[in-house]
Structure 1
Amino acid sequence: MDLKPRPIVKQHTITRHWCGHCETYVKSKNIPDTSRIGINVLGYILYARYRLRLPLKKIQESLHDLYNFRISEGEIVSKLDEARTLFGEDYDAITLLIEEASHVYADETGWKMDGKNWWLWVFVTERGVRYVIEDTRGKGVAARALGLKEDRVIISDGYAAHKNLPGDKQQCWVHLLRVAKIHSPPLYEDLILLYKRLLQELEKKKEERDKAIFEKALALLIAKAYPQLEAKKVQARMQHHAGSLFTCLEHDGVLPENNTAERAIRLQVVMRKIFGGSRSLDGAKAHEVNTSVIETQMRQHPGDSFFDLMLPLLKRRRSEL
């Protein structure tokens, strides 16, 4: 196995010819890329940055160690920004996909912007993932990302930014169970039983589900006396979210938990821990666009390799410029 293959240098002779009718020189539309860094290197940079989650220095070192290819950190940043430009229309399509989805899973986490505290938001549907990096955790971010669609469900951990947005709400049961387990184990056990019944009910056809039974069961747990003083806080939370704990029973394909968004945002948390976030606004924009397009492609084509998906897409987008 050749661990350090010799670079292949290709020479292309590109001809042009005079057109007497157009009175200009013409050449083929399918000429090879003439930039120093081609699609394959660009694809590797995206793979190393967003799938392997490598810092810029490590991407630089790996290209040199594996391919004897020398590149500066500045060139890598430039290529990430080039990908952002190439993926512009794809990101716009994802934005529209999120706005028009029948149900969206939403979450947010902290993000560093040149050492300052910003926020990274995620919005997930069955066929798309959109990341947004902003300097605020305010509801305006979610409002802009989700738009004005009313006939949809927003699944979240109960964060207030989603409360007054158009559409129905589904509160994450996993978050509620975590809180109950900490403050009142007996209440947690009762909630677990109710949650298991809820999952069984969701296996039925929508028209066969009985939401009223679950609302009555929840009311009994809210009124029940538990030995732990902290149980009152959990019951208050249950009361506050009572109207959004069983929304999933009225819709097809809506889960009673927000693990879908949490899994999508966990990828970003790992990257934040490894290379610390973004150094500039341009870097943040490149990050949100590139990761959104890559994760959406991987979500739409499960089982396909990164390079089989992204290299053809990069070639198409560059040819369209």
Structure 2
Amino acid sequence: MVSGQETIPSCLLMTSSDPTKEKILARLVSLEEEVEQLREENEQLRQENKRLRAKLRWYEGPHTPPSKEQSDQEKSSSSDGDEDDEQPRTDGGSPGRNLGHDPEWRTAPNPDQKLEVTCDCCPECGEHFDESAGVSPRLVEEVPNPQPPEVTQYNRHYYECHSCGTQTVASHPDCPDEGQFGVNVIAQSALSRYDYRLPYRKIADRFEQLHGLELSGASAWHATERAARAGRCEYEQIRQQIKDADVVHVDETGVKRDGEQAWIWTFRTEDHTLYAVRESRGHDVPVEVLGEDFPGTVVCDGWTAYPAFSSNLQRCWAHILREAEDAAEDFEDAEPIYRKLRQTYVGLQAWLETDPTTRERAQMHRSSESGLRSLVERSVADEPVATLLGKIEGGIDHWLTFVGEPAISPTNNAAENALREPVVLRKIIGTLRNERGMFVHETLLSLLATWRQQGRNPYEELKRVVKSNEMISRTHAVPAVEPSR
């Protein structure tokens, strides 16, 4: 090579095997056509996804409790693991625990009696057995046959005081002051209605089939009403406990009262649940239940009754995230809003797991609130997206309460879970007839939910409140004298 000339790398030299300009242009045209085809297919997939999500929203709206999506989330989370760790199913894909999971067994009860089951001879050849080679024990649990009702006649003697003329009827702890049915019948009627969700006619049929007790549907209703009246004192005690709580989850759903619109409210803490059936959905109901000067924090959704009742709120993040996700499916302007909200929520949840100090919580609260304020200041063209930003801005003082107070949950799942039972009953009974029905409904639902939260036996508790109510009524009232027959 001549000295003084620049050396050209061999890789840049054109060879006969290199593509020509025409081939390169043809390849570019082919790639552009392929990209355009992929864009069209991607747009078709986007439209199909939007159509399917719109169809899904027929029964999963923005205010659907997150528990309805729990099964799908669990499936997706279980499929995120490494494929090498997953073992093939050998049971045909039936539901159940994964292979290798430690089994759980029922605790074996202590037998009430032991029966020796022997055999004298071989069933095959007839040879006589001299002695047993061992014992193969088997525990069998059985309930006793239904028992007929016990009918007791209480000959209650009555007396007249010669000094003051007061007439007194002797009482017995097992003899009710009204009606002809005892504590067990009253407790089972209420439990059959509100735990087993039976119509009153079916409750009457159950008593007749199992115990031979002739009972009408109306009698089952009156027995259930007696259980509610007996438990009303404990209902008020639950209300007082909730009034004294630091954090209360509140929610409401519709219910019919004689065919007209009414509302069943739930107020839930860690250990107590209270239901209130009212014709109002306004802030007067929380005022009535919790008091005007309730000092605690209310965890709630975005219904206007809550900020009208209290300024110490925690708005539900599950609601706003679902609404933002739905908006992001239909409007491009909502996609960064949903992404920012989700990043904020997930980031805060992870950060709170580090157990920050009070000062760190306050700093994070200010920083996160500043981020939300900058989010709502953006300009959007679509009205639904502007509405979403308005909801975020309207609760700007209430989204981050949980950051500064460890005992507060960022979602209202507790109250939504508490409304499941009333919603199921609403589908069964249709409507409450009158004030008495509303009274029974809210009282027994509250008692049973609270007892379940506290791990108490609802049947035993119902018998307890009915019997204690009988004792209280005897203490504060003089029974009327019935003439002998």
1:57 paired to 2:198: no
Structure (1/2) with the larger strand percentage: 1
CA distance in 2, matches of 1:18, 1:77: 34
CA distance in 1, matches of 2:293, 2:427: 35
- SS in structure 2 opposite 1:155? strand
Do the aligned residues in 2 keep the contact of 1:63 with 1:70 (CA within 8 Å)?
yes
Q: What does 1:229-308 align with in structure 2 at a 5 Å threshold? A: 230-299=384-453, 301-302=454-455, 304-308=456-460
| Per-residue deviation, 1:150 | 4.5
Displaced runs of 4+ in structure 1, greater than 6 A?
17-26, 225-229
Distance 1:307 1:90, change over 3 A: same
Q: How many residues align?
A: 319
Match of 2:256 in 1: 112
1:318 paired to 2:318: no
- Equivalent residue in structure 2 for 1:196, among 343, 346, 349: 346
Distance 1:234 1:120, change over 3 A: same
- SS in structure 1 opposite 2:274? strand
TM-score (norm 2): 0.59
1:30 paired to 2:173: yes
Distance 1:94 1:206, change over 3 A: farther
CA distance in 2, matches of 1:217, 1:310: 52
1:222 paired to 2:376: yes
Q: What does 1:42-81 align with in structure 2 at a 5 Å threshold? A: 42-81=186-225
Q: Map Cα deviations across residues 117-167 of structure 1 (whole Å, 9 max, x no partner).
A: 111111112222221112221221222112123421111111111112245
- SS in structure 2 opposite 1:243? coil
Amino acid paired to 1:47:
L
- Equivalent residue in structure 2 for 1:138, among 257, 269, 282: 282
CA distance in 2, matches of 1:20, 1:143: 49
Question: Which range moved further: 306-315 or 147-156?
Answer: 306-315
- SS in structure 2 opposite 1:320? helix
Match of 1:9 in 2: 150
Match of 1:86 in 2: 230
Match of 2:317 in 1: 173
Distance 1:2 1:253, change over 3 A: closer
Structure 1 residue ranges without an equivalent (≥5): none
CA distance in 2, matches of 1:136, 1:31: 41
- Alignment RMSD (CA, Å): 2.9
Amino acid paired to 1:306:
P
Amino acid paired to 2:146:
P
Question: Which range moved further: 192-201 or 172-181?
Answer: 192-201
Do the aligned residues in 1 keep the contact of 2:265 with 2:277 (CA within 8 Å)?
yes
Q: Map Cα deviations across residues 72-113 of structure 1 (whole Å, 9 max, x no partner).
A: 121122122212221121122122222222121111111111
- The structure number with the bigger radius of gyration is 2
- SS in structure 1 opposite 2:397? helix
Structure (1/2) with the larger helix percentage: 1
Distance 1:202 1:147, change over 3 A: farther
Do the aligned residues in 2 keep the contact of 1:4 with 1:65 (CA within 8 Å)?
no
Do the aligned residues in 2 keep the contact of 1:42 with 1:79 (CA within 8 Å)?
yes
- SS in structure 2 opposite 1:163? helix
- Percent identity reads 26
Amino acid paired to 2:369:
E
CA distance in 2, matches of 1:183, 1:225: 15
CA distance in 1, matches of 2:370, 2:427: 44
Distance 1:150 1:37, change over 3 A: closer
CA distance in 2, matches of 1:140, 1:239: 25
- SS in structure 1 opposite 2:432? coil
Distance 1:192 1:12, change over 3 A: same
1:183 paired to 2:327: yes
Do the aligned residues in 2 keep the contact of 1:170 with 1:244 (CA within 8 Å)?
yes
| Per-residue deviation, 1:22 | 8.6
Instruction: Tell me: higher relative CO, structure 1 or 2? Use CA pairs within 8 A at least 6 residues apart.
Output: 1
Do the aligned residues in 1 keep the contact of 2:149 with 2:212 (CA within 8 Å)?
no
| Per-residue deviation, 1:220 | 4.0
